[in-house]
């Protein structure tokens, strides 16, 4: 039975559990706002994936553009400090968009399933996967160090904590909502690759502030492409772990490990060109691993069909 609008909570209004009687609000501003809200929610339900990426990417790109315009009007320049202030907003937006869209599409049942996935911690040997990012980074730098000592890994231990909020919040959106929705209608690795590309593009407003060689000046575009190139296979590996374990917690910890290891171990004396080079080499190694996972999964799927 529908509740009357006068006794409804904002959450009930959002998911459509309440029918508003026109006589309650007439045709005033509140009525128009509720009508617009209802139309937005209805559109989001029809195209939930598009709605999620619209929220995430428009907040990133639109917010980044607005921040830069504001700084110019104040006779200031975008800097690493600006990125450090802006980045937490981006991280929170991805997690918030995941929670919001889960609620809009599946209501309280969806939120309960999300909590169950986050609390699924009994994954046994899969925790060993957390060692993959630092192992791959150290292996890449060990090979490159044969050409120059500037590729010697750093040991900025405090940098690991940069990965904690990123992993815990972002994966609610990337893995908890977007991947779960997209993987239900496609082979799991295809949406994983697309989400990985979107993940890289989402970093665009702050990407030049990342890395030890920031700002990258003439190399910023090449560095941005290299960064996206490594995020796509990283997303495949995370999505593979989620597919096999159903654990969103494991995805969060993998993200923390990948981001934290990159901050901790990135060589501190590299030039923008050298940083771009080692990111590309790291991406190639990750793609070799991700490609092996994809081929193995496809072969196993083919055997199951036979």
pLDDT of residue 8: 55
Overall average pLDDT of the 117-122 stretch: 95
pLDDT of residue 196: 97
CB 273 within 8 A of CB 219: yes
With b meaning 16 or more CB within 10 Å and e meaning fewer, what string describes 283-296? bebbbebbeebbee
Cα gap 60→58, rounded to integer Å: 5
Q: Are residues 90 and 227 in the same domain?
A: yes
CB 272 within 8 A of CB 219: yes
Q: Are residues 292 and 202 in the same domain?
A: yes
Q: pLDDT-derived band of residue 11, with 50, 70 and 90 as boundaries?
A: low
Q: Are residues 131 and 30 in the same domain?
A: no
Q: Are residues 19 and 59 in the same domain?
A: no
Q: What's the structural domain count of the chain?
A: 2
CB 248 within 8 A of CB 114: yes
pLDDT of residue 6: 47
Burial of 131 (0-12, 13-18, 19+ CB in 10 A): exposed
Q: Are residues 247 and 276 in the same domain?
A: yes
DSSP class of residue 134 equals H
Q: Are residues 33 and 60 in the same domain?
A: no
Cα gap 270→274, rounded to integer Å: 5
Overall average pLDDT of the 127-139 stretch: 98
Q: Are residues 142 and 108 in the same domain?
A: yes
* Segment 61-93, tens digit of pLDDT: 888 888 888 878 887 877 777 777 888 889 999
Q: Of 250, 229, 226, give the one whose Cα is nearest residue 238.
A: 250
DSSP class of residue 203 equals T
Q: Of 122, 105, 123, give the one whose Cα is nearest residue 114.
A: 105
Overall average pLDDT of the 21-30 stretch: 53
Q: Are residues 180 and 201 in the same domain?
A: yes
Q: pLDDT-derived band of residue 249, with 50, 70 and 90 as boundaries?
A: very high
Strand intervals (E) in the chain: none
Q: Of 236, 189, 217, 232, give the one whose Cα is nearest residue 275.
A: 217
Listed in sequence order, the residues at least 6 apart from 115 whose beta carbon sits closer than 8 Å to its beta carbon are none
Q: Is residue 9 classed as helix, strand or coil in its secondary structure?
A: coil
* Segment 28-67, tens digit of pLDDT: 666 766 777 788 888 888 899 999 999 999 989 888 888 8
Q: pLDDT-derived band of residue 27, with 50, 70 and 90 as boundaries?
A: low
Structure tokens at 100: 């919001």
User: Which range of residues forms the domain containing residue 38?
Assistant: 1-46
Long-range contacts of 47-55 (CB under 8 A, 24+ apart): 48/101, 48/104, 48/105, 48/181, 49/178, 49/181, 49/182, 51/101, 51/104, 52/97, 52/98, 52/101, 52/173, 52/177, 52/178, 52/181, 53/178, 53/198, 55/93, 55/97, 55/100, 55/101
Cα gap 242→117, rounded to integer Å: 9
Q: Are residues 70 and 180 in the same domain?
A: yes
* Segment 209-219, tens digit of pLDDT: 899 998 999 99
* Segment 142-175, tens digit of pLDDT: 999 999 999 999 999 999 999 999 999 999 999 9
Higher confidence at residue 15 or residue 180?
180
Q: Are residues 154 and 264 in the same domain?
A: yes
Cα gap 98→178, rounded to integer Å: 7
- The answer to which of 137-146, 212-221, 288-297 has the lowest mean pLDDT is 212-221
pLDDT of residue 257: 97
pLDDT of residue 38: 82
Overall average pLDDT of the 112-125 stretch: 95
What average pLDDT is seen over the chain? 88
Q: Are residues 5 and 142 in the same domain?
A: no
Q: Are residues 27 and 78 in the same domain?
A: no
Site of tokens 């999505």: 239
């Amino acid at each position: 039975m529908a509740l009357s609008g006068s006794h409804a909570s904002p959450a009930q209004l959002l998911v459509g559990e309440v029918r508003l009687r026109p006589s309650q609000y007439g045709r005033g501003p509140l009525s128009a706002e509720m009508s617009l809200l209802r139309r937005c929610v209805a559109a989001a339900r029809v195209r939930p994936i598009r709605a999620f990426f619209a929220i995430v990417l428009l907040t990133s790109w639109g917010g980044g553009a607005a921040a830069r315009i504001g700084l110019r009007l104040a006779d200031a320049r975008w800097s690493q400090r600006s990125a450090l202030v802006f980045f937490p907003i981006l991280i929170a937006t991805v997690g918030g968009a995941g929670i919001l869209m889960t609620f809009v599409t599946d209501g309280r049942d969806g939120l309960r399933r999300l909590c169950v996935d986050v609390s699924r911690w009994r994954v046994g040997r899969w925790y060993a996967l957390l060692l993959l990012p630092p192992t791959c980074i150290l292996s890449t730098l060990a090979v490159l160090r044969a050409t120059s000592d500037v590729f010697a890994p750093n040991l900025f231990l405090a940098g690991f904590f940069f990965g904690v909020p990123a992993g815990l919040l972002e994966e609610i959106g990337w893995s908890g909502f977007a991947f779960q929705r997209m993987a239900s209608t496609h082979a799991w690795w295809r949406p994983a690759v697309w989400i990985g590309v979107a993940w890289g593009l989402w970093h665009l407003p702050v990407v030049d502030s990342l890395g030890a060689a920031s700002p990258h000046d003439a190399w910023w575009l090449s560095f941005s492409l290299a960064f996206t190139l490594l995020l796509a296979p990283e997303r495949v590996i995370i999505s593979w772990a989620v597919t096999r374990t159903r654990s969103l917690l494991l995805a969060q910890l993998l993200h923390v490990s990948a981001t934290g290891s990159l901050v901790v171990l990135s060589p501190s004396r590299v030039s923008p060109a050298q940083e771009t080079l080692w990111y590309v080499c790291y991406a190639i190694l990750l793609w070799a691993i991700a490609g092996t996972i994809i081929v193995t999964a496809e072969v196993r799927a083919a055997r199951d069909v036979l």
